[in-house]
Amino acid sequence: GAVVSQHPSWVICKSGTSVKIECRSLDFQATTMFWYRQFPKQSLMLMATSNEGSKATYEQGVEKDKFLINHASLTLSTLTVTSAHPEDSSFYICSASLGSEQYFGPGTRLTVT
Amino acid sequence: AQTVTQSQPEMSVQEAETVTLSCTYDTSESDYYLFWYKQPPSRQMILVIRQEAYKQQNATENRFSVNFQKAAKSFSLKISDSQLGDAAMYFCGSGGTSYGKLTFGQGTILTVHP
């Protein structure tokens, strides 16, 4: 089956620093990848849609300058949280589409101290 | 636009019993599909079942089945012979075949009692 990986699985960073999260489709090419944010016991909130070779489309209310998304190849999308603050601490999940199917990564837990 | 509503924040069931999770939706899409995802404590999203809206027959996957009522915009999930491993947060949702974005409901936490 289609596999999506994320790296790192857990990251702790200091307030004011930036952190990059990678999302890779391991055995298929994904023209579109999605980034979600999830708080404990809540639903997934779509942050942005990432298409290979073009600028990401951000959902309303998501700061594009704070959450930088790059989709440089058909198998890799990255999310960079810039100048992180404690309120950015959350669980970030990516997914990659293959046809009308979406495959989810295992998620990245970000803790900002 | 699509909206998905799960009105049961928490549900519980005894092992080996049957439980039904409710979901209603609204969509402006003519070509769409519905799904249930399971998120166990590992937080990995696992597709439980998917139903194409144009199909009248309810989808089934082993112990999991759906009751799809298109006119009522209802899409409930029935779990038969519940197992301890079914304990998780369950998300109902919809997607359009013409675009990739998925819309998720609020989620239902399912507890399975031994």
Q: What is the full per-residue pLDDT of chain B (114 aa) written as tens digits?
A: 789 999 999 999 999 999 999 999 999 888 899 999 999 999 999 999 999 999 999 999 999 999 999 999 999 999 999 999 999 999 999 998 766 789 999 999 999 999
Tokens at residue B85, please? 């491993």
- A41: phi > 0 → left, psi -120 to 50 → alpha, else beta; which? left
H or E element at residue A81 = strand A76-81
What is the rounded CA–CA span in Å between residue B31 and residue B48?
21
Residues of B whose CB is below 8 A from A91? 43
Compute CA B101 distance to the chain's CA centroid, rounded to the nearest angstrom: 17
A62 contact B CB<8A: no
A49/B100 CB distance under 8 A: yes
Residues of A whose CB is below 8 A from B95? 100, 102
- A37: phi > 0 → left, psi -120 to 50 → alpha, else beta; which? beta
At A60, which amino acid appears? Q
Mean pLDDT along residues A77-98: 96
The predicted structure's pLDDT at residue A1: 75
Q: What is the pLDDT of residues A2-38, one digit of tens each?
A: 999 999 999 999 999 999 999 999 999 998 999 999 9
- Terminal CA-CA length for chain B: 41
Three-state DSSP state, B37: strand
The predicted structure's pLDDT at residue A53: 82
Confidence of residue A101 (pLDDT cuts 50, 70, 90): confident
Residues of A whose CB is below 8 A from B89? 41
H or E element at residue A46 = strand A44-51
Rounded to the nearest integer, the mean pLDDT of chain A is 94
Residue at token pair 């979600």: A36
The predicted structure's pLDDT at residue B99: 66
Residues of A whose CB is below 8 A from B41? none
Cis amide leading into A8 (omega within 30): yes
Give the pairing type, strands B19-21 and B74-79: antiparallel
Using CB atoms, pick whichever of B100, B101, B106 lies closest to residue A43. B106
The predicted structure's pLDDT at residue A81: 98
The predicted structure's pLDDT at residue A31: 81
Question: If you count residue pairs, one on A and one on B, with CB atoms under 8 Å apart, how many are there?
Answer: 42
